[in-house]
Copies of this chain bind each other. A is one copy, B any other.
Amino acid sequence: MNKLNGGVTAPEGFFATGIACGIKGNGKKDLAIICSEDSAAAAGVFTTNRVKGHSLQLTMEHIKSGYANAIVINSGCANACLGKKGYADALEIAAITAGLLECEPNDILVGSTGVIGKPLNMELIRPGLEALVSGMEPEGGHDAQEAIMTTDTIFKEIAVEVELTDSSIVIGGMAKGSGMIHPNMATMIGVLTTDANISRRLLDKALKEVVEKTFNRITVDGDTSVCDMVLILANGMADNAGIIDEDDDYLAFKKGLEEVCNYLSRRIARDGEGATKLIEVVVENAASPEDAHKAASTIATSPLVKTAVFGEDANWGRIITAVGYSGVEFDPDYTDIYIGDILVCKNGCAVDFDEGAAKEALKKDEVKLLANINKGVYSDRVLTCDFSLEYVKINSSYRS
């Protein structure tokens, strides 16, 4: 597998761009399009929040056909909690774009991210869509990436080339997301593109399995949002023999997809609002996969654990406490805890550890916290970030 430059426009036959149409009000890009030359097989994973943004609702309908031509995403406004007007606006975006691209509204997927409860300014978006479609470029992936960002501070795009038995294919991806990231899919939007020729059924299967292991294993603050989705378009232009069975080519494709999604999800966790560090929480030897996940998530969402890591304070008591209230089966007397590589708690008891070394481990850019609960054979890991003063500053005045 080779890393390539670029993101969603790295695979053959994809065009994209991003513009500032005025939704954000600060002159920053806020409208993006990602378009396939031909109709592409499409699959998506959507927020599990019972409240769903209107653009997302529309996309869940449109993707049922299994094919799509383009994805339009705006930032600066979530288009959520607005009743019929919200859905009508999303539909109008799809209809205008379809008219410009000469396809059906049903072939357009729409996404929105930003503040809830404020209507989309369609006066700005209508002319914006025209400018967007006329500005599409085969190298426009980066502009599209910029236009879907909200509180993001780092870019999140990647492309990889994957060797199949008879040819090579490319998978590209971009994402936005920094606050409210939590399984499943909170305030994050991921767009993946590939020129692979793959059946719609296997595209869907691969996406769901990979998202479960990557995007659904990150958390910033435990909140899950109403607009979050990961979409993939596969336009088949690489001319590989079609992937229609779970054969070696399928596995190679899935591995490439996992590489892309893993990179993007780590970038999101690292970019958690106000974050200064990436935290990898590992729980080992739980009684069930569910317990492993629950314990890791509980540690990863504990504000006390996250503030301790921010302060580089080896307060492992907060880690075992989090396992204790996570509700999983375990006996504290058989639990070991590590900060980085340093054993700080053995069989539920404090051990004399080198505070300086623990401090060093906590000073790193990526901090690993491990709880081995010695109850079974299942492990899991969750990525998160520390909880800083900056997080509170950003989120205390998000709408302002």
Contact = CB atoms under 8 A, between A and B. Distances in A.
Interface of A: 48-52, 78, 80-83, 115-119, 179-180, 182, 186, 221-226, 301-304, 307-308, 310-311, 313-318, 320-325, 330, 332-333, 345, 347-350, 387-389, 391-393, 395-400
A192 to B, nearest CB: 24
A307 B51 contact: no
Contact of A392 (B322, B345, B348, B387): B387
A38 B83 CA distance: 66
Contacts of A393: 389
A393 B391 CA distance: 12
Given A310-B396, A392-B392, A395-B308, A226 B321 contact: yes
A321 B83 contact: no
Contact of A325 (B223, B302, B391, B399): B223
B349 A313 contact: no
Contacts of A349: 81-83, 117
Contact of A303 (B226, B303, B316, B397): B303
Contact of A332 (B51, B182, B317, B388): B51
Contacts of A387: 303, 392
A388 B388 CA distance: 11
Nearest to A320: B51
A218 to B, nearest CB: 15
A195 to B, nearest CB: 36
Q: How many copies of this chain sit in the oligomeric assembly?
A: 2
A321 B116 contact: yes
A313 to B, nearest CB: 5
B313 A398 contact: yes
A117 B223 contact: no
B317 A78 contact: yes
A51 B345 CA distance: 13
24 contacts: A48-B325, A49-B321, A49-B324, A51-B323, A51-B332, A81-B349, A116-B320, A116-B321, A117-B350, A119-B350, A179-B304, A182-B325, A223-B318, A224-B324, A226-B321, A303-B387, A307-B392, A307-B395, A308-B395, A308-B396, A310-B396, A311-B395, A313-B397, A388-B392
Given A303-B223, A325-B223, A81 B345 contact: yes
Given A117-B316, A397-B313, A321 B389 contact: no
Contact of A117 (B186, B308, B317): B317
Contacts of A313: 396-400
Contacts of A225: 321
Contacts of A301: 222
B304 A345 contact: no
A118 B82 CA distance: 53
B50 A324 contact: yes
Given A117-B317, A317-B115, A348 B81 contact: yes
